[in-house]
Amino acid sequence: MLTILGRPQRAFCDGVSRRSFLRLGSVGLSGGFGGLTLSRCLEATAGTAHGTSQNSVIMVYLPGGLTQSDTFDMKPDAPREVRGSFQPIGTTVPGLSISELLPRMAQTMHKVALLRTVVGFKDRHESFQCYTGRPGGRPGDGDPQGGWPTFGSVVSKRLGPRTGGIPPYVDVGPPTAKNAYMNRGQHDGISRSSWPGFLGFAHTPFHLEGQGKGDLVLNGVSLDRMYHRQALLHSFDRFRRHIDHRGMMDGIDAFQQQALGILTSNKLADAMDLSGEDPRVVRRYGQAKPTRWQYEAAPKSPQHLLLARRLVEAGVRIVTVAFGAWDWHGDRGETLERMAREDLPDLDHGLSTLIEDLDQRGMLDHTTVVVWGEMGRTPRVNDKGGRDHWPAVSSALLMGGGLKQGVVVGATDRHAAKPKDRPVHVQDVLSTLYHNLGIDVNTATVTDLSGRPHYLVDGDAAPIQELVG
């Protein structure tokens, strides 16, 4: 008998208790929610309109904030303490140069929109800023009751899941030591958490953690256990035959059946099983590499990028994934120069492989990929050989989803310290993602716990016209 969660209860003839069977949906959410089951979450989403858009989004979060001056916004004519140690190289976009440590991305930039003037971040190490487009958790932030929902939660609410037992919103991890870097973590330096926001548990993501079948975890349940699908389904079949015989099927309502559909979805399980991928593709992505423990961030795992592609291919609307550690102050025994030479080639490999893979599969047209961190880094290298926090401006990458490619939006001043023209607010970026999913930020709203409707973005935020126009 396969036991998914909990201790054995009074069993039917096949050893599966009715109570345990009806609560199998609880693995659809991470622990700590007081026994909230997936079936209850599905009930909470009843009546949500299912979107017709076939587009999806992969958000690659770079914990700590990538240095713009050493990657995508180099200033070779600036003083050495500003320009750093690396040289720019040409790309497939005429007139565009990026770091010599990103040679594969240099050959891919014609498929990328480069944003050099992203503004609107606070000096806080929080994934929350990228996932919601807003600060939160502190006096003056103006949080609504329950807190702001993430971008993926809003999409889950507005569009709902696609058919076939596929959840709309999945976070593939990998796990980080710093809570504020996690998709569902705490605010930086504050015990208070705003996750999952006022939209509630029904719209939290499915969380996958680890790497590969052996240690990948779905909300506390090992995939090695989940992958005994045949044994599980055999138990379900025996259970169903038993309760059919006793006339008890009325005890399993539609939401519980839907929960079982998600848990036993071949599409979802197959997407999470990297052993089903072409071995040549797996080798092309390469294996994960650790980041230094003192940065409390994510490993550099191209396998998680591959998993993100597979989940989108299976029908997930929003996939979030963390990659690497980029808080390069130079105060943890490593200089920026050493960290850059160690980590940027892995980012170069992972991102370029993902873009090429999506493109070769014909998925790039309906998959938007955004790559960013929660701030930029100081223009001037500090006395420890690193760069400190710099929320005034940062760079981000957008690609796919029908957006214009090979485009550079915005320019910074001669030190990459602030926008010289065309600042792009973080909410403009999210507006562009909503636009690509068929959601109109001018009209769409979500309702908070007090019944007050909120637009998805604030003020004048709008899709980036240089890319969608």
Q: In 3-state terms, the chain is what percent helix, strand and coil (to 5)?
A: 35, 15, 50
For residue 37, give the amino acid letter. Answer: T
Other CB atoms within 10 Å distance of the CB of residue 229: 17
Q: What was the pLDDT predicted at 200?
A: 87
Q: What was the pLDDT predicted at 192?
A: 75
Q: Which two tokens stand for residue 5?
A: 């969660």
Among 374, 380, 407, residue whose Cα is nearest residue 95 = 407
Q: Which two tokens stand for residue 346?
A: 């892995």
Instruction: Give strand pairing partners of 409.
Output: 115
Tell me the C-alpha distance between 261 and 38, whole Å: 11
The torsion angles phi and psi of 218, rounded to 5 degrees, stand at -100, 100
Pair 412, 117: CB distance under 8 Å = yes
Could you tell me whether strands 318-322 and 56-61 are parallel, antiparallel, or unpaired per DSSP bridges?
parallel
Q: Which two tokens stand for residue 25?
A: 């949906």
Q: How many CA within 13 A on the CB side of residue 427? A: 13
For residue 370, give the amino acid letter. Answer: V
pLDDT in tens, the chain (469 residues): 222 223 334 344 444 443 343 334 334 333 333 334 555 555 555 545 544 578 999 999 999 999 999 999 999 999 999 999 999 999 999 999 999 999 999 999 999 999 999 999 999 999 999 999 999 888 899 899 889 999 999 999 999 988 777 889 999 989 899 999 998 778 888 877 777 799 988 888 888 764 444 444 544 545 454 444 455 555 555 655 655 555 554 555 555 555 556 655 678 878 888 888 999 999 999 999 999 999 999 999 999 999 999 999 999 999 999 999 999 999 988 899 999 999 999 999 999 999 999 999 999 999 999 999 999 999 999 999 999 999 999 999 999 999 999 999 999 999 999 999 999 999 999 999 999 999 999 999 999 999 999 999 998 999 999 999 7
Tell me the C-alpha distance between 358 and 350, whole Å: 12
Q: What distances in angstroms separate CA 193 from CA 6, 32, 49, 172, 197, one per listed residue?
A: 27, 13, 29, 20, 9
**Domain limits, the chain:** 10-44+228-269, 50-218+273-468
Residue 88: strand, helix, or coil: strand
Contacts for 325 with CB less than 8 Å, ≥ 6 apart? 63, 64, 291, 292, 295, 296, 297, 298, 343
Question: Is the preceding peptide bond at 290 cis, omega within 30 degrees of 0?
Answer: no
Among 368, 371, 378, 381, residue whose Cα is nearest residue 433 = 368
Tell me the C-alpha distance between 84 and 68, whole Å: 11
Could you tell me whether strands 217-218 and 221-222 are parallel, antiparallel, or unpaired per DSSP bridges?
antiparallel
Other CB atoms within 10 Å distance of the CB of residue 32: 9
Q: What was the pLDDT predicted at 409?
A: 98
Question: Is the preceding peptide bond at 196 cis, omega within 30 degrees of 0?
Answer: yes
Give the CATH class of 50-218+273-468: alpha beta
Q: What was the pLDDT predicted at 6?
A: 32
The torsion angles phi and psi of 289, rounded to 5 degrees, stand at -125, 140
Pair 302, 350: CB distance under 8 Å = yes
Tell me the C-alpha distance between 403 and 197, whole Å: 29
The pTM assigned to this predicted structure is 0.85
